[in-house]
Amino acid sequence: MQSYGDETRPLSALSLPSRIVIGVAACAVAVIVAIHLAMMFLHVAPSNTLSKQQGALISDYVYPEYEQNWKLFAPNPLQQNIAVQVRAQLRAGDGSTRTTGWTDLTARDGQGILHNPLPSHTQQNQLRRGWELFLNTHNAQNRPVGLRGELSERYIRRIVMLRMDGEWTKGGGRVEQVQVRSQTTPVRPPPWSSEKINEKPVYRVLPWWQVTADDLPEGASNK
């Protein structure tokens, strides 16, 4: 009966080139793991000299793939569903104008993620993080607070035009203005809870924004 050698040979039995390759690969993996752990530690640790000096580098590494969001947990778990919706004012070639209906961009992202084992980070984070940035940089009257507030408005407009410009103008014409609103709906309590809530949606409607060439997707025209 033919006998086969033991396939699980010790490392010392391998050739020198094979041992070098394995050693280099193991060192590379160790370095990558160490860098990842260091970046995550500096991100969640209290502010220190190193995190202040390398703040931009740490943020570029962490966001959006390794974002830390503790809103799921007590004492302030998320208890609302927030949907970002948009509409536009269009001008046709004959000079007439019309206003579109509201389109729920958050619902579209949700449909793209549903049953998708590997959803894109754009679908998961782009719109949500953009809206969070807007809320954090505007007051209750929807006025920007500082330069970041103005940048957040431009960012939201670009997201809207990137996703909707082709759909809105496929019949001709151009987008003149866009309007964004959020629809906040309380999460229903579980069946066993006696808690009573008002399930009526609450809207935060932003003013109309004029669309400029800087807001359009690459290659699009606003003429």
What length does the chain have? 223
- The pLDDT value recorded for residue 218 is 66
- The pLDDT value recorded for residue 47 is 81
Cα 162 to Cα 86: distance, rounded to the nearest angstrom = 12
Number of H helices, E strands in the chain: 7, 6
Reference 189, options 76, 71, 80; nearest CA is 80
- The pLDDT value recorded for residue 75 is 54
- The pLDDT value recorded for residue 194 is 80
Reference 85, options 6, 168, 183; nearest CA is 183
pLDDT digits (tens, 9 = 90+) for 120-146: 877 888 999 999 999 999 999 999 988
Low-confidence residues of the chain, pLDDT below 50?
A: 1, 3
Reference 161, options 183, 195, 130; nearest CA is 130
pLDDT digits (tens, 9 = 90+) for 17-54: 888 888 899 999 999 999 999 988 888 788 888 888 88
Cα 89 to Cα 177: distance, rounded to the nearest angstrom = 5
Cα 44 to chain centroid distance, Å, stands at 20
DSSP-assigned beta bridge partners for residue 91? 97, 174
- The pLDDT value recorded for residue 40 is 86
Sign of the dihedral defined by the CA atoms of residues 106, 107, 108, 114, in that order: positive
